[in-house]
Structure 1
Amino acid sequence: MLIQKFHPALQPGLQLALADSGNPLFSRKGHWDSGSALHCVAMALALLGKLTDPIALARRDDGPEAAFWDRAWPHYLHGLTPSELESFVWELNLGVRPGAAHNGQGSILNFCERELNRERPIVVGWRRRRARDAHAALVVGIEGRQHKRAFQPHALLLLDPAAAEAKLAACNARLVFNDERASYMTETHAYPVTVENAVSIRPIARHPPAVISGDCA
């Protein structure tokens, strides 16, 4: 049986939205910029409830959206390397931290499955053959075969900032894994890629203050 599992904060419809607020989620990059990873982080933070309006960051004067934009705009044209992406997430100070996988395509697929099971969105990066720049998309789901109690994943379901907006769907692209090879697929394109890294966005647990017992005077 073919199964698709999506992040629970997604609300598919005529426009993909956040389930808790109904605000639009999909943030699309332009033709000239290299900001795909930045768009992905903004959407990931929205799924985690850290941003309320990921598509209007530059128009906010205060709050977490303005803080994100202040950090993001210097990187917008040239993009982020994987290590820069991890540092960028740490330095946002929005109650999240990065978790990274770099150890080959099979381990990245398993890493993404584990992180999604914990409701953590992931930014995955790949490189197309003979292409100058790497690209990134947001992993919002996973696809695989269910046999009795065993689930075998074979594809990552993506929100790609460079692809067309998802209509009546929760994703607009897929990364399909076949042994040591991977292919990027949309409704109109399919080509082999080399998957290089994945960075999950993890909420930082907030521990309640310790209660000190004792007699009151």
Structure 2
Amino acid sequence: MNVLIQKLHPGLRLGQRLTLADSGAPLFSRQGDWAGGSTLHCTAMALALLGNLSNPVQVWRHEDGPEATFWDRAWPQYLHGQTLSELASFVWELNIGVRPVTAEGRPAAVLRFCVRELARGWPVVVGWRSQHPQPAHAALGVGVEGRRRAQGFSPHALLLLDPAEAEPGLAASNARLEFAKPGSRPVYVTAGGRCPIAIEGAISIRRSGGAT
């Protein structure tokens, strides 16, 4: 039987609003129109899924604890954003029990990396550019979509939380990255449309000591 399946990160709780499974706190952190900090919003949500942040939506309100540590390091970079290598350094320097693992190279290899990491429970930040000149952007991988056939599960898309899109309602994602067909580019899909993209890489955020 050919069955469509979505495998979601276990830290998610679906409902009228997307929340953290363990606390019920809101998860989606929205990027402002002027900000370039998509990687920072993605990282805050990833750390919340791993249990390192309790309030990824309003980290700036905290005067101490991991949210305050995150915001102290994040706000100087919030408007201009980060490259993926800068994001990896940022995660290391937080020193809150997590470490980044980076994947670069051919898009197919990066997407296979994302599927493996999500299967292990590690959220991934995916970076890309569209075909048109524009700043790089990032979204958080929270699930995989594919079909279960006789030979097993065959993934064909990443399910993403894009901080620049609207908050998802009654769903786990607000964007998807469809794997490339032969002779074409991967396609990024949101409620506003779809476009081919060039994947720049991905960073998995693991708890320190997590298996390689």
TM-score range (shorter-chain normalised) is over 0.9
The equivalent of 2:72 in structure 1 is 70
Equivalent residue number for residue 46 of structure 2: 44
Aligned to 1:95: 97
| Compared CA separation, residues 132 and 186, structure 1 to 2 (3 A) | closer
Code of the residue aligned with 1:13 in structure 2: it is G
Give the whole-Å Cα distance in 2 for the aligned partners of 1:186 and 1:17.
20
Q: Deviations over 1:68-108 (max 9, x none)?
A: 00010111011011110110010000100001110111011
Kept in 2, the 8 Å contact 1:129–1:192? The answer is: yes
- The number of residue pairs the alignment matches comes to 206
Once the two structures are superposed, what CA deviation does each residue of 1:127-178 show, in whole Å capped at 9, x if it has no partner? Answer: 0122320000000001112112422211110000000100000000000112
Tell me the percent identity: 59
Amino acid corresponding to residue 185 of structure 2 in structure 1: R
CA contact (8 A) 1:109 1:153 kept: no
- The one-letter amino acid of 2:194's match is A
In structure 2, how many angstroms separate the alpha carbons of the residues matched to 1:193 and 1:17?
29
Taking the aligned partners of 2:115 and 2:177, their CA distance within structure 1 comes to: 13
Matched, 1:181 2:185: yes
Give the aligned partner of residue 144 of structure 1.
146
**1:195 aligns to 2:199 (yes or no):** yes
Distance of 1:130 and 1:171 partners within structure 2: 24
> 1:23 & 1:130 partners in 2: Cα distance?
37
Cross-structure match for 1:159: 161
Matches of 2:99 and 2:57 in 1, distance apart? 22
**Counterpart AA for 2:112:** N
Cα shift at 1:43: 0.2
1:8: which partner in 2? Answer: 10
Give me the whole-angstrom Cα distance separating, in 1, the residues matched to 2:146 and 2:185: 16
Whole-Å separation in 2 of the counterparts to 1:155 and 1:101: 17
When normalised by structure 2's length, the TM-score is: 0.94
| Equivalent position amino acid for 1:90 in 2 | W
1:182 is matched by which residue type in structure 2? P
Local SS of the residue matching 2:133? coil
User: What does residue 169 of structure 1 align with?
Assistant: 171
Cα-Cα RMSD: 1.1
Whole-Å Cα distance in 2 between the matches of residues 183 and 31 of structure 1? 23
2:124 aligned residue:
122
Q: Following TM superposition, by how much is the alpha carbon of 1:187 offset from its aligned partner in structure 2, in angstroms? A: 2.1
Aligned equivalents of 1:205 and 1:149: distance in 2? 33
SS in 1 for 2:41: helix
Moved over 4 A (4+): none
- Read off the aligned partner of 1:161 and give its amino acid letter: P
In 2, Cα distance between equivalents of 1:17 and 1:74: 27
Give 5+ residue unaligned stretches, structure 2. none
What is the CA–CA distance in structure 2 between the aligned matches of 1:59 and 1:46, rounded to whole Å? 16
Please name the residue that 1:30 is paired with. Answer: 32
